[in-house]
Amino acid sequence: MSLGPLEIGLIILAILLLFGYKKLPDASRSLGRSMRIFKGEMKGMKDDDVRAKDPATTSRGELAPPVPPVTPDYEAEARAAEARAAEARARADASRTGTTPVDGTR
Q: Residue ranges per domain, the chain?
A: 5-49+73-97
Per-residue confidence in pLDDT tens, the chain, 106 aa: 688 889 999 998 888 888 787 888 888 889 899 999 999 999 888 887 777 765 555 455 566 677 777 777 788 888 888 999 999 888 888 888 877 655 555 5
Rg (alpha carbons) of the chain, rounded to whole number: 31
Cβ-based neighbours of 59, under 8 Å, separated by 6 or more: 47, 51
Q: Can you give the pLDDT at residue 55?
A: 56
Q: How far is Cα 90 from Cα 80, in angstroms, rounded to an integer?
A: 15
Q: Can you give the pLDDT at residue 104?
A: 53
**43-51, Cβ contacts within 8 angstroms, sequence gap of 24 or more:** none
Q: Whole-model pTM above 0.75?
A: no
